[in-house]
Amino acid sequence: MAELSPPVKPARPEISRPVFERTFKINSEQAIRVIRKSYDRLIKALYAIDVILRIVGQEQAIDEIEAIVSTMIADCAEQLQQEKARLEKLKADNGITETPTYTHPTEFVARIASPQIAQFVELIRLLDQLMIVMDTLWLCQVIDNKHCVEARYHWQQRLQRLANRIVTIERQAHRAAYAQGHGEELQIAREEIGLQAEPETVSENEAEADQLGMANEVDDRD
C-alpha cells in the first residue's frame, strides 16, 4: 500500500504592516558600535513585544511591558540630553564653535515598525550628537584623554545595557505566553514575520555587565 503524504498546510498570506524607512548619517564610533552590536536583536525583540504576543491575546501584559520599555528608553534619553546640555555649555564657555568631521561615518537605514523602535533610533542619534560634542572638547583640550575614553565607553555601554534588558524582557514574556499554552501560535506568528522560533538571548557576560551597570546607575543616583 502506498504511503500517504502528510497534508500540506496552505501558505498564510503575508501581513501588510506599516513601516517608515529613514536614513541617517552616524558619525561617532560609539553610536556605530551600538548599531552593529545591539540594534538588530533589539528591533526583533521590540517587534515581537509589539506584534507577536499581542497576536496570542496578551493585551494587558504587553501594554504594561511596552509602557515599561518606553519609560526605560525615555529615562536614558533624558540622561543623554542632560549630559549633552552640560557639555554644550562647557563648549560655549570656552568659545568653541568648531565641529569635527569624521573619517568613517556610516549611513544608517532604520526601519521603524513600532513606536519603541522609533524611540531607540532617536536614542542612537542622540548618543551620536553627544559623542560629537565630547570629541570636540577633547580635540580642543578642554577634557583630557582619560576622561574622554571613560565617558565614551560609559555612554556606549549605557545603550547596550538598555538593549540587553529589552531583549531579556521579550524573552521572559515569550516564556510566560508559552507556559500558558500559546507555543504553537507563537511559533507561527514568529515565522510569519521572519523571526527565528526562539527569542534572542543575552550571554552570561552581558548579563553580568548589565547587573554591574545597573548597580552603578543606582549608586550614581544616590
What digits encode the pLDDT tens for the residues 103-115?
999 999 999 988 8
Instruction: Show the DSSP H helices in the chain as ranges.
Output: 29-34, 40-47, 53-55, 59-93, 115-139, 145-177, 183-192, 204-221
pLDDT value for 220: 41
Least confident residue range of 80-84, 123-127, 155-159, 197-201: 197-201
pLDDT value for 141: 96
> Residue 97 — pLDDT band, cuts 50, 70, 90?
very high
pLDDT over 90 at 32, yes or no = yes
Tell me the pLDDT tens digit for each residue of 51-80. Answer: 777 777 667 777 888 889 999 999 999 999
> Residue 2 — pLDDT band, cuts 50, 70, 90?
low
> Residue 191 — pLDDT band, cuts 50, 70, 90?
confident
Q: Look up residue 182 and give its amino acid.
A: H
pLDDT over 80 at 135, yes or no = yes
The grid cell for 124 is 542612537
User: What is the value of pTM for the model shown?
Assistant: 0.81
Average pLDDT of every residue of the chain: 83
Quick check: 158 and 213 in contact, CB under 8 A?
Answer: yes
